Amino acid sequence: AAAVAAVSADDVVATLEKLHGLVAKGILSQAEFDAKKAELLGKLS
């Protein structure tokens, strides 16, 4: 069976902060941020 990489809450928060910075700069759209956020939060459960 394939091992699933463990993702810590701290890693998710750090990634979300970086992505939010890209939204603030206009590099990433809010919709793209929301999609990535949902994906990251899904990895925590």
Nearest-5° angle of CA 7, CA 29, CA 25?
90
Residue 4: band (very low, low, confident or very high) from pLDDT cuts 50, 70, 90: low
Residue 43 has a pLDDT of 85
Mean confidence (pLDDT) of the chain:
89
In angstroms, what CA-CA distances link 20 with 5, 6, 14, 24, 27? 23, 22, 10, 6, 10
Mean pLDDT of 16-37: 97
User: From the DSSP assignment, how many helices (H) and strands (E) are in the chain?
Assistant: 2, 0
Domain ranges of the chain: 9-44
pTM (2 decimals)? Answer: 0.76
